[in-house]
Amino acid sequence: MNTNPKKLLAKALSKKTLGILGGGQLGKMIGMAASRLGIKVIIFDPKEDSPAFQIADKYYISSFEDKEKTKVFARECDAVTYEFENVPLECLIYISKFSKTYPGIFPLKISQDRVLEKNFIHKLNINVADFSVVKSKKDIKNFLIKKSNKVLLKKVKQGYDGKGQKKIDLRNLKNLKISFKNNNFIAEKIILFKKEISVIVIRDKQGRLISYKPSENNHREGILIESNYPAKIEKKIEFKAKSIAKKIAKELNIVGVLAVEMFITRNNEIIVNEIAPRPHNSGHWTMDVCNISQFDALVRVIFDLPINSIKYYHKCKMINILGENYEQFFHSLEKAKHKIHIYGKNKIKPKRKMGHVNIID
C-alpha cells in the first residue's frame, strides 16, 4: 500500500474536478492553472464559442438559468467558482446546494451591484467616490448642481470595461438618451486622480490573507490598456492600499482571490473604485512575474494547497491586446522578453480583449 502523503495528494488531485461558471479568458486561465495541477476542469457557459472550452475536460453550453443543467454540472464538481460578476446570483445559490462554491455567494451579491458595493465599502470607513442613485434627468441635474459639474453615469448592474458608462455635464444632459425604465443608474463624481492602482488579495479557508504588491493601471475609455508592476507609489501608500484590500476581502468573507481597483488622488487619498471577487485583468502580470499567479492562487485556496509566500522575479508591463491593436501580437512574436497569452476568441473586434503580453524586465 502506498502511504507516502505526497503521492497520495497527487493521486487525490487527479480525482478532483473544478467547475467554472463562465468560459471567457479568465475561466480559461483559471482552468489552465487547475489543469497544471492535474485537476479536471468543467466549464459552463451559454456561448457556443467560449474560449475556455478549448482547455476543458468537459463543458456545458447552457443558460445559467437552466436548473437541470446546472444541477448535473454542480454534482460533477468538487468545487465551483465563477469568472465574472454577472453570473446570476440565483444560479450560484442553487449550485451551492450540490457543490462547494468559491469565493462565496456574498461577494458575488455585493460585487454585481454598484450600489451595494459602494455602500458596503463605505461602511468599512473606506473612501468611495460620491454618488447617488438617479431615476430621472432631474435627479442627474440635481447631483450636477450640488456635487460636481461633471459626473459619470454608470449602470448599477451588468457594466464592465466602461460599458454602460457616460460622462455627463449640464450641457450634454439635455441630449442624453437612456431608458430609466429598463436599467438603474448611479451618477458618480469624477475623481481627478493622479494614479490608478489595483491590489489582488488571496484569502484562504483559514482566513489567512496574502496580498500581491499593487500594480499601476492605465485605462482608455474605461478599458484597461496596460498594467505596470511595480506601481510607482510611496511605501506608505502601498501599505495602505494593501490594508484596504485585505480588509474588504476579510469583511466579504472571500475564500479565493479578490481584486480591488483604487484611485490615488493628488493629496494621496485612496478611493476604491471597484472590486471583483476573482482573478482580474490588472493581475495578469503575476503569470510571468511570480512563483504563484493569481490563477494558481485561486486553485490552491480551493483545493487546500499551501501558499507560503509570493515571490517576484521581474518587473513587468502587461499590455492588453485589443481587437484594434492586434498588431501587438505580431510585434511581440519577435521579442524574447514578451510573454504572449492569446485567448483564442473566434473574431477580432475593436475593444474586445483578444489576449495580453507580459513584457518582463
| Cα angle value 14/81/28 (rounded, 5°) | 75
Of 91 and 151, which has the nearer Cβ to ligand AMP?
A: 151
Residue 182 C-beta: closest distance to ligand AMP, Å: 19
List interacting residues with ligand AMP (CB under 6 A): 129, 152, 159, 162, 188-191, 196, 219, 222, 261, 273-274
Of 198 and 293, which has the nearer Cβ to ligand AMP?
A: 198
| Type of residue numbered 191 | I
Cα–Cα distance between 206 and 280 in angstroms, integer?
A: 23
Of 11 and 220, which has the nearer Cβ to ligand AMP?
A: 220
> For strand 58-61 and strand 40-45, is the pairing parallel, antiparallel, or unpaired?
parallel
Residue 299 C-beta: closest distance to ligand AMP, Å: 26
Q: By three-state DSSP, how is residue 57 classified?
A: coil
Of 28 and 189, which has the nearer Cβ to ligand AMP?
A: 189
Cα–Cα distance between 249 and 272 in angstroms, integer?
A: 13
Residue 255 C-beta: closest distance to ligand AMP, Å: 24
The interaxial angle of helices 25-36 and 294-302, nearest 10 deg, is 60
Cα–Cα distance between 340 and 254 in angstroms, integer?
A: 30
Of 273 and 286, which has the nearer Cβ to ligand AMP?
A: 273
Of 100 and 219, which has the nearer Cβ to ligand AMP?
A: 219
Residue 279 C-beta: closest distance to ligand AMP, Å: 16
Residues in the chain: 361
Residue 88 C-beta: closest distance to ligand AMP, Å: 20
Spell out where the chain has E strands: 17-21, 40-45, 58-61, 79-82, 100-102, 131-134, 150-155, 165-169, 185-189, 193-203, 209-211, 215-220, 223-229, 256-265, 270-276, 316-322, 338-342, 353-360
Residue 160 C-beta: closest distance to ligand AMP, Å: 6
Residue 219 C-beta: closest distance to ligand AMP, Å: 4
| Cα angle value 41/44/45 (rounded, 5°) | 135
Of 20 and 129, which has the nearer Cβ to ligand AMP?
A: 129
